[in-house]
Amino acid sequence: MSDSDDHDEDHEYQSFEFESDYEDEYFDNQSENSSSSTRSHNERVSPSKTSTSFNEWTLPKFILTVFLDKYQKLKDSKLGGCTDDDLLILLHYKRWQADEVINDFFDNPKKLFEQAGLPVPPQKSANHLKSTTSFDCSVCCESYKQVMVYELSCSHRYCLFCYHHYIYNELSTGKLIHCIQPDCALTIPHGDIDKIFDIVEHDSSIIKITKPLNENRLLVASAKIFVDSQSTYKWCPAPDCKGFTELVSSATFDEATLDYKDISIIPIVRCAESHEFCFSCNYENHLPCPCWVVKKWIKKCQDDSETINWIDANTSACPNCLSSIEKNGGCNHMTCKKCHHEFCWVCLGNWSEHNNSYYKCNKFEQDMSEIEMKKSKSRLTLQRYLHFYKRFTIHESSMQGDLKVLKQINNVAVMYLESRRKDSSVTSLAWSDIQFLPDAIRALSNGRKTLKWTYCFAYYLMDSNFQEIFESNQDYLNRTVEDLSEIFEKITTTSTKGDSDIVKLIMKNKTKIINLSNTISLRQKTLIDGAYHNLKEGLMKFDA
Amino acid sequence: MPRTPAGPHPFQRRLLKEYQGLVKANLPGITMVQHADTMSEYIFRIQVQHNPLYPENDRYYLSVRITREYPVDSPQVQFIKYEELDDEEASEAKIPIHPHIYSNGHICLNLLGDDWTPACSVESVLLSVQSLLGTNQVLERPPDNDSYVRHAPLNPKLTKFTYHDDDV
C-alpha cells in the first residue's frame, strides 16, 4: 500500500469519525496519523547521499500538530474559569505559545483576557447568534422585519450578512477577529466564525455538519499566513496541490556560488501528495540539473522556443552583421537596417555586384565560403538547441499523458479486483494486489521527469568522454520508460473493449510491469548518482 | 466575494444614509466641495483649526472613493492637488506637510488600514484626518518620503503601511 493512499484513507476516516465530536477523539488518533505519513526519505529520486531532511504537511495535519496540540495541552492543565473557546483565543493571541498563556494567566489574568479580547472573569462570554424581529443594522443600513443577528458579550449587534462580509474580509490576515464596533476589542470565537459562514453560505434548512476544528476557517487562514511567512516552509508548486513542506535541514545552500558541482546538496523535497520539488528554486525535481542550469534553460526556452522556429523559417541573416531580417516587400535589393549593408536576398551577395537586374538574381556560384561558415555555425547551434529542446518537451507532454493514464488506471484497478474476487481459485485478496499499477505509473512519470531534465543537462554539458557514459545511461532509461509506457498504452486502449480482456492483459503483464518499473527506478538512480560523481570529480563540466 | 463592476453598490442604502448624514452634519472646517451622483466619490475641503503649524486659511483637499467592497473594506482616501475655480486660494492648494502624509497625498493612518471596521464611516475618516493635522507638532514629511513616492502605487490602498508610532 502506498503511503499517499494510506494517508487519503486516513483522512476520510477522520472526517467521518469526528463530525459529531471533534475535539477529544482527534488527539487520540494523532499519533497514528503522523506515523502513517512519516516514511523513509530514501524513496526520493536524488543522489544516494543527501543531507536534506524535511517534513511533509497538509493544512489539517499542520493545524492539528502545531496549533491544536498546544490547545490540548492547555486543556489538560485546566486553567480556572476558561472555556474551550477562551483557551483557543488565548493561544491564538499568544501565537500558540502555551507557556506564555500559562505564565500570563497566573501573572495577570485580567490583563491577558483584556488583551486577547475576552470578557474579564468573573464575567463570562455571552455570545448570541439568534433570529430577531424588526432590526436596523447600522452597517448596511437595512431595516429587517426578521433577520439573524450576532452579538458578543458587548451587545453590539449587527446582522449576520454584515458579519459574514466582515469576517470574510478579515480572514485574510489570519489574526483574531474582533467585534465590528470600532472601539470594541472583544474577539469572535473560532467556532462562531464557522457557524456564521455555514448559516450564510448554505441554506439553513440543510442539516449542518460541524467542521472539525482543524478545518476551522480562521485556523486555516492563520496556518496559511504562517506558512507564507516562514522561509523554512514552502507550498508545493504542483498545480492544485494543497500540500506544503517544511525543510528541517539541508546542506548550506548558497545561490551566489553558481558554479558548485555538488548536486547532492540540491534540496529535493516531497509534499504530502507525493510531488517532488526543489526547495531552493521551487521547481519540480530537476535532477540531475543544478538549479542554476534550470534557471538558464527555462529562460532560454521562454526567450527562444516560440519564436526561434519561425525566425529560422522566415528570416535570413544579414551577410554582414548576421542580424535576422524578414523580407516583407517584393524587391530583392535588401538594405540591412542595422549595418546598412546592401545585399541581394536571393544569393545574399553584395548588391554592388548586381548591376541593374532588380528582380532577378542570375548570379551563380559566388565564393561565399566565409558567409556559409558563419551561417552554418549559427544554424548548428540552433539545431543543437532544438534537438535537446524537442526531447525535453516531448517528455514533458508525455508526463501529462501519464497523468491521464493514472486516472484511468484507477478504474481498471477496481475492475481487476472485482474479477479476481469472482474467481474462486483466488482465496485472499487485498488492495496491495493491485497496488503495483499506480506504483508503476508513478515510477514511469518520475522516470520521465528525470529523463526530461537530462536533456537540459546535456545541452549545457561540455564535450568529454564521460558525456558518452551519461548518454548511454540516458538511453537505457529512455528505453525502459518507453517500454513501460507502451504497456500502459495497450491497457488503456483495451479498456474500451471489455472487462475480461483488460484483466487478462494486466495479469499477463503483471510481472513485466513490476520489473520494468523497478528497472526504471534503478536506472534513474544510476544516472543521477553517475552525474553526481562525475560532476564532483570534475570529469563532467558545464559550459556556462 | 463576487465582484460586479456594474449596477448599484451592494450597500446602496448605507451610501445614501451616509451621504444624507454628510450633507446635514456641518462639520467645522470640513466642506463637501464635490460628489458623484453614485455617492461613491467625494472631495472635501479641510481646514485645520487651532494648530499654529497650519494657518487657518490654508485649504487642503481630500479625495474619498468608496470601493465596491465598502463598508467591509475601507474607502480609498488621499490628499489631492485640487483647483477650485471660484476659490481665491486655489493656487495655494497643496498636500499638507505631516510626518504621516506623503508628498503624493497618501496618508498612513491606521483607521484606513488595520483598524477599519464596517462600523466606521466616511465621517469618522474625515474627523480622524482632521485631527491628524490638528494634533501635529512637527512640520515634516515621513522619513521615507522620497523612496515611497518614487515607487508608490497609484492607489494608496495597495500599499502595506506599517504604523510606526501611534502618538502623532
Are A180 and B117 in contact (CB < 8 Å)? yes
DSSP track, A367-409: --HHHHHHHHHHHHHHHHHHHHHHHHHHHHHHHHHHHHHHHHH
A543 domain-assigned: no
How confident is the model at residue A9, as a pLDDT? 37
A225 chain-B contacts, CB cut-off 8 A: none
Measured distance CA(B168)–CA(A448) in Å, rounded? 62
Instruction: Tally the domains of chain A.
Output: 6
Contact with chain B for residue A144, Cβ under 8 A: no
- The answer, yes or no, to whether the previous bond of A288 is cis (omega within 30 of 0) is yes
- Pairwise CB contact (< 8 Å): A141 & B69: no
Which range of residues forms the domain containing residue A271?
A: 43-58+215-285
Residues of chain A in contact with residue B16, where contact means CB-CB under 8 angstroms, are 141
In this predicted model, what pLDDT tens digit does every residue of B144-163 receive, in sequence order?
888 888 888 888 887 777 66
- Chain A CB contacts of B69 under 8 Å are 169
A474 and A458 in a common domain: yes
Question: Which single residue is written with the C-alpha cell 529542446?
Answer: A389
- Does residue A522 register a pLDDT over 70? yes
How many contacts does A have with B, using Cβ atoms within 8 A?
45
Indicate which CATH number applies to the domain containing B147: 3.10.110.10
Q: Assess if residue B1 is contained within a domain.
A: no
Amino acid at A60: P
Higher pLDDT, A172 or A371: A172
- Residue B168 falls inside a structural domain: no
Pair A349, A244 in one domain: no
| Residue B21 falls inside a structural domain | yes
Within 8 A of B72 by CB-CB distance, chain A residues are 162, 165-166, 168-169
Distance of alpha carbon B20 from alpha carbon B33, whole angstroms: 15
Domain identity same for A100 and A195: no
Same domain, A459 and A407: yes
What pLDDT is attached to residue A468?
84
Instruction: Assess A244–B contact: CB distance below 8 Å, yes or no.
Output: no
Is residue A193 a contact partner of residue A174, using CB atoms and an 8 Å limit? no
Which long-range contacts (C-beta less than 8 Å, at least 24 apart) are formed by A514-519?
Answer: A514/A436, A514/A440, A516/A440, A516/A480, A516/A483, A516/A484, A516/A487, A517/A436, A517/A439, A517/A440, A517/A443, A517/A444, A517/A484, A518/A443, A519/A480
CATH assignment at residue A201? 3.30.40
Tell me the nearest-neighbour CA distance from B42 into chain A, angstroms: 20
Assigned domain for A372 exists: no
Q: Is A536 on the interface with B (CB under 8 A)?
A: no
Q: Do A482 and A439 belong together in one domain? A: yes
Q: What is the mean pLDDT of residues B103-112?
A: 90
For residue B110, the chain A residue with the least C-alpha distance is: A182
The C-alpha of B111 sits at a distance from chain A's nearest C-alpha, in angstroms, of 9
* Minimum distance, in Å, between the CA of residue A165 and any CA atom of chain B: 6
- Residue in chain B lying closest to A167 (CA): B72
Say whether residue A178 is in contact with chain B using an 8 A CB cutoff: yes
Closest Cα in chain B, distance from residue A96 (Å): 22
Asked if the Cβ–Cβ distance from A181 to B69 is below 8 Å, we say no
User: Which residues of B are catalytically annotated?
Assistant: 108
Contact between A168 and B72 using a beta-carbon 8 Å cutoff: yes
Tell me the shortest Cα–Cα distance from B137 to chain A, in angstroms.
Answer: 25
Q: Answer yes or no: is A298 within a domain.
A: no
Which residue among A139, A168, A173 places its CB closest to the CB of B119? A139
State the complex-level ipTM. 0.74
Q: What is the least distance, in Å, from the CA of A122 to any CA of chain B? A: 28
List the beta bridge partners of residue B31.
Answer: B45
Domain count, chain B: 1
Under an 8 A CB cutoff, do A182 and B16 touch? no
A463 in a domain, yes or no? yes
pLDDT in tens, A395-443: 888 888 887 777 777 777 777 777 777 766 665 656 667 778 888 888 8
pLDDT digits 0-9 by tens, A493-517: 776 666 667 777 777 888 898 999 9
Measured CB to CB, residues of chain B less than 8 Å from chain A are 1, 11, 13-14, 16-17, 69, 71-73, 114-115, 117-120, 124
Contacts A138 to B, Cβ<8 Å? 119
Residue A33 pLDDT exceeds 90: no
For residues A416 and A471, membership in a common domain is answered with: yes
Query: What is the H or E stretch that residue A84 is in?
Result: helix A84-93
Across the interface, do B118 and A141 touch by the CB < 8 Å criterion?
no
**Do the chains contact at B117 and A181, CB–CB below 8 Å?**
yes
Which has the higher per-residue pLDDT, A416 or B3?
A416
Domain assignment present for residue A292? The answer is: no
Positive/negative CA dihedral, A23, A24, A27, A32: negative
Tell me, yes or no, whether A468 and A419 share the same domain: yes
Whether residue A456 lies inside any domain: the answer is yes
Contact flag A141-B14 (C-beta cutoff 8 Å): yes
Task: Quote the pLDDT of residue A10.
Answer: 38
Probe site for chain A from B22, B69, B74, B117 (most A CB atoms < 10 A)? B117
Residue with cell 439573524: A148
**Where in A456-526 does DSSP place strands (E)?**
none
Nearest-CA distance B10 → chain A (Å):
9
A11-25, A144-158, A263-277, A521-535: range with lowest mean pLDDT: A11-25
> Using the beta-carbon criterion (under 8 Å), do A182 and B1 form an inter-chain contact?
no
Q: Are residues A394 and A532 in the same domain?
A: yes
pLDDT band at A45 (very low <50, low <70, confident <90, very high): low
Angle at B42 between CA B37 and CA B45, to 5 degrees: 135
Mean of the pLDDT values across residues A469-489? 88
* pLDDT computed for residue B101 by the predictor: 92
Residue of chain B whose Cα is closest to the Cα of A169: B72
Look at B77 and A305; give whichever has higher pLDDT.
Answer: B77
Looking up residue A460, the CATH number of its domain turns out to be 1.20.120.1750
Tell me the longest C-alpha to C-alpha distance in chain B: 48
A249 and A225 co-located in one domain: yes
C-alpha cell of A532? Answer: 553526481
Backbone phi, psi, residue A122, to 5°: -80, 0
Instruction: Give A202 or A33, the one with higher predicted confidence.
Output: A202
**Contacting residues of B for A229, CB less than 8 Å apart:** none
- pLDDT grade, residue A84 (50/70/90)? confident
Domain that holds residue B88: 12-158
In a domain, B126, yes or no: yes
Among all residues of chain A, which has the CA nearest to that of B11? A140
CB A133 within 8 A of CB A145: yes
- Confidence band, pLDDT 50/70/90 cuts, at residue A18: very low
Question: Is B166 contained in some domain?
Answer: no
Q: Do A141 and B120 touch (CB under 8 A)?
A: no
Q: Do residue A473 and residue A516 come from a single domain?
A: yes
In a domain, B85, yes or no: yes
Residue A104, pLDDT > 70, answer: yes
The CA dihedral of A104, A110, A114, A119, to the nearest 10 degrees, is 130
Do A501 and A428 fall into the same domain? yes
A393 and A522 part of one domain: yes
Query: Cell 501635529 appears where?
Result: B136
> Which parts of A137-185 fold into alpha helices (H)?
160-170
